[in-house]
Amino acid sequence: MPKKNTLADLNDHLFMQIEKLNDDELTGEALEAEIDRAEAMTNIGSQITNGMKLQLEAAKIIASHGDKFRHDLTGLTKSEDTAPRLSENTRPKAD
């Protein structure tokens, strides 16, 4: 089953909205409604892309330094089974 609500879907929706705004037959209240909808879609799209950027940055940090702070990562993974594993060589030393 294909994943729903991907970044490709977001791009499709944003480009469809651009096409609606370019409709020369759209005037008056209908045009204002589409402008409002476009602004809302832009705001939501920005939040989605900002969230994706944050996830990417977190993935980069986990990939390169995850074993150093695994105990702090519980909110970044779906379950303990998917969290990065500590290797014996990278476990933090007890003080």
Give the pair of three-digit tokens for residue 3: 């994943």
**Would you give the distance in Å from CA 27 to the centre of its chain?**
34
Q: pLDDT per residue over 73-90, tens digit each? A: 566 555 554 444 444 444
Q: Which residues contact 90 (CB under 8 A, 6 or more apart)?
A: 67, 68
Determine the average pLDDT of the residues in 11-17. 93
Q: Is the pTM of this model over 0.85?
A: no
pLDDT at 77: 56
Cα–Cα nearest to 61, from 84, 35, 38? 84
pLDDT value, residue 63: 82
Residue 34 has pLDDT above 60, yes or no: yes
For residue 4, give every residue at least 6 positions away whose Cβ sits within 8 Å of its Cβ, in sequence order, or none. none
Q: What is the pLDDT of residue 91?
A: 45
